Amino acid sequence: MQIYVDADACPVKDQIIKLAREFQIPVTLVQSFSHYSSKAMPEGAETIYVDSGADAADYRIMKLVSQGDVIVTQDYGLASLGLAKRCDVVHHKGFIYTDENIDSLLQTRYLNAMARKSGKRTKGPKAFSEEDRKLFETRFRSLLEQRRRARG
């Protein structure tokens, strides 16, 4: 098992790396060159840089993941592709994507895009809070514990 992070705008990278080290699971952060950092990564974590083009990180993650891996992303399209590959997919606010909720999320995204295209204003996401960070850490830990129990 491996954890892949759509890392360009991910506010919980440190929490992911900390928990992954605790559970001894390798982490790969995938982000565009426009977010380049020379900061050394801790053991068990690596960064892969991709072009800044639209969806470049998503395409790279999908090329790398295998069934049973974990993906952290806020992108519904990537979440849908990850679910199709039988990965666990988590939003950085702790929301777990499932086969049962992804179609509704994609439909809502599409309807909002059409509304914006026709000149209407739509609400953006709420600002990321410390409560969101704590919820993510709790749910991510729970997911990793479930995965460890399933492996025996």
Domain ranges across the chain: 3-151
Confidence label for 71 from pLDDT (cuts 50, 70 and 90): very high
pTM as predicted: 0.88
**Exposed/middle/buried for 113, CB within 10 Å: 0-12, 13-18, 19+?**
exposed
Tokens encoding 4: 């892949």
Q: Which residues contact 136 (CB under 8 A, 6 or more apart)?
A: 12, 15, 90, 92, 93, 94
Task: List pLDDT tens digits, range 108-150.
Answer: 877 878 888 888 887 777 899 999 999 999 999 999 999 999 8
Task: List pLDDT tens digits, range 6-30.
Answer: 998 899 999 999 999 999 999 999 9
User: Strand, coil or helix: what is 49?
Assistant: strand
Would the CA dihedral through 120, 127, 53, 6 be positive or negative?
Answer: negative
In the chain, what percentage of residues exceed pLDDT 70? 100
**C-alpha to C-alpha distance for 63 and 57, rounded to whole angstroms:** 10
Fold of 3-151: Rossmann fold (3.40.50)
